Structure 1
Amino acid sequence: MPDIGDWIALLGILLTGYFSYRVLRATEATNKLSEATLELNKEIKKQEERMKNEFKLNMRTQLLPGILEKSSQAYKAVADTNYTKIHDKITAGPKKLDIDKEVLSSYFEPHEVQLITNAWTKYENYVNKYYKTSYYYSSDMDNNDGIEKLIEHNGPVIEVFSELENYFKSEHKN
């Protein structure tokens, strides 16, 4: 007949088996919960990415008409054959874009940022170099102080703004 020590050992084995089974079930439940949490985190990440892309698209959609409008004004200011009209249009029109390159980089593709900043850099350099609020004019062309340079040097500015306008027009067709 088994003595009390054998019964205690048997009871210990049974209790250990029972608790091991319970720990195994708890571990399985924890694993399922971890898998569900992982899937939820993946879904949340996807949703955040969709929201980020949607926000980027919305911001781009809001910024682009203003950029194109100001660019059109700048283009129309320099695309003339009469230096007095060019002067008057520059005086009335924008002198710079007033949108940081970092902001543009957040909502536009790198090549688009390059197109926009290149056009506006050329325009700002042109305005800074050749535009004055007033000019001295003499019938002796050698004594004039440069208003004719508004026409002589407007070609590169016209070219980059045309490229900018054509790019975004073709983008909207697609």
Structure 2
Amino acid sequence: MVFAFISVAALAIGLIYMTLRSSTTTHTAIVDVIGAIDGRTVEVVLNKRKERVVLAGIGFPPGDARSETECADVVQDVVAGRRLYMEVFKEVSGCRYVTLSSSNGDCLNVMMLEKGLGRYESTGVGFIGKLVEAESRAQAAGLGVWDKNRALFRHLANEAADSTADDAVFGRS
């Protein structure tokens, strides 16, 4: 009886391990990029099939539609019609979160964040160090969405003003 319980527990642990491992293991494929669907969704050809993939780690500030348009333009201008390496970080409900890189290692996702075209968003992909570093460089240089005149800062200023107003209402200082 104890042996049967141990066997079932070991089998369950093995199945859980294999499931988790398969969902977080990255793999790379060569794709032909068709073009941008929006600022972070790209249509590619993989194994002779068209697929839509999401650029991992790319997000946009609330209220800054310009960022999404600029990212879509970059995809169209820089990578549409090219053959690239696609690394899949995560697949959730058929949605693939990917990075796209050239043969010399230049990564589209990193380039977009370095130029301040978007901001790092970990939803769905977790922490990707290169992307966070790229965003930090753009932020330090005040590029793109990190320009003090862009919507990101207006949004953050509004949040700070709301917080200050809440503090005054509730007697906090």
**Same fold, TM exceeding 0.5?**
no
Q: Which protein is richer in helix relative to its size? A: 1
Q: Which protein is richer in strand relative to its size? A: 2
**TM-score, normalized by length of structure 1?**
0.28
- Rg bigger for which structure? 1
